[in-house]
Amino acid sequence: MKIRAIVETTQKWARWAALKHFPRALAASDYLFKGLQLVSAIRRARIPWYRQASELGAEGDERLQAVSFRSRDRQQRIETPLLLLHQGVIPSLQLAAAAGCEDRWNETQQCWQAQLDDWGESSQPGIFVAGDAAGIGGARAAWLSGQLAGLQVTHKLGMLAQQQRNLQARAVRNARDRHLAIRPFLDSWYRVGEDRLLPPDETLACRCEEVTVAELRALARQGCAGPNQAKAFSRCGMGPCQGRFCGATMEQIFAREAAPGRQDIGHFSVRPPVKPVTLGQLAAGGE
């Protein structure tokens, strides 16, 4: 299938905010060079590229028929049977949350992250979280974070002296910090705008249980305490995805409507199974 267009929702204000992080990003210039190569490839392919888009909407009855949006004050409509929507990457905290690890809200990356020490150890002694599950940093930074966790585990097992651990960790930390130098710039440049985090009332916030944004807004305005209580009232988050798709939207609605701190609102509690399983898989579990 030929790509009809790229519709970029990054707004001009986000790009201006990202410029202050550009000097630090130069420490990871290979990432910037890779980005320029990707832009060049798009231009060579002559793919239409609409920037600063807003009011994104999908049109159709049983199937998608078209995508409409406004780009630089001009209304656009593209007929297409397929829309691929990417709105950033957030860590998967289900396993850490199920283990009782404490987390915190990261406003820069607009997501929850496990609270970790310098070695990746969580609030639960002996449980380490590394890689993008601990915060989005990319593949190479994830690999290096895993090395740091491994050094600390080896030390705690009495197999590596503290001095030797610190000596080996120094080069790993320096390399990881270089790969992470690009993150503040990218996180600011591609920050998701509020108009896309807070969809219109008629939008299905929970596709599994067919719960609309309007229903969740009504619960928040009626004094519902947060996502977990709203789950009991509306069944939002009880479907096969277990809140992976609707959870972030529900949290954003409550943060806007109920107005307490994001840490006070919290997020869905995690219950096993962490991943959906079939009856056949459960039946074969004892073999």
Asked, for residue 286, whether it belongs to a domain, the answer is no
**Residue 183 and residue 98 in one domain:** yes
**Residue 113 and residue 163 in one domain:** yes
Burial class (CB in 10 A: 0-12, 13-18, 19+), 88: middle
Lowest mean pLDDT among 4-8, 17-21, 54-58: 54-58
Predicted local confidence at residue 261, as pLDDT = 64
Predicted local confidence at residue 286, as pLDDT = 58
What's the domain range around 228? Answer: 198-265
**Residue 110 and residue 70 in one domain:** no
Predicted local confidence at residue 193, as pLDDT = 80
When pLDDT is averaged across residues 67-96 and rounded to a whole number, the result is: 90
**Residue 64 and residue 125 in one domain:** no
CA-to-CA distance for 93 and 135, rounded, in angstroms? 10
Lowest mean pLDDT among 48-57, 75-84, 269-278: 269-278
Asked, for residue 274, whether it belongs to a domain, the answer is no
Which domain-ending residue is among 135, 158, 187? 187
**Residue 129 and residue 100 in one domain:** yes
Per-residue model confidence as pLDDT tens digits over 113-126: 999 999 999 999 99
pLDDT band at 259 (very low <50, low <70, confident <90, very high): low
**Average pLDDT over the chain, rounded to an integer:** 90
When pLDDT is averaged across residues 208-229 and rounded to a whole number, the result is: 89
List, in sequence order, the alpha helices (H) in the chain. 12-18, 22-25, 29-44, 94-98, 139-156, 162-180, 183-189, 194-197, 213-221, 227-234, 247-257, 262-265, 279-283
Asked, for residue 270, whether it belongs to a domain, the answer is no
To the nearest whole percent, how much of the chain has pLDDT over 70?
A: 97
Q: Which of 186, 197, 188 has the alpha carbon at shortest distance from 13?
A: 188
Which domain-ending residue is among 144, 164, 187? 187
- What is the separation of C-alpha 80 from the centre of its chain, rounded to a whole number of angstroms? 26
Predicted local confidence at residue 263, as pLDDT = 67
Predicted local confidence at residue 185, as pLDDT = 96
Asked, for residue 89, whether it belongs to a domain, the answer is no
When pLDDT is averaged across residues 77-88 and rounded to a whole number, the result is: 90
Burial class (CB in 10 A: 0-12, 13-18, 19+), 138: middle
**Residue 212 and residue 253 in one domain:** yes
DSSP code of 6?
E
Of the ranges 130-139, 159-168, 237-246, which is most confident? 159-168
If one counts the domains in the chain, the total is 3
Instruction: Please name the amino acid found at residue 16.
Output: W
CA-to-CA distance for 142 and 132, rounded, in angstroms? 6
pLDDT band at 48 (very low <50, low <70, confident <90, very high): very high
CATH code, domain carrying 241: 1.10.10.1100
**Residue 160 and residue 235 in one domain:** no
65 pLDDT exceeds 70? yes
Burial class (CB in 10 A: 0-12, 13-18, 19+), 245: middle
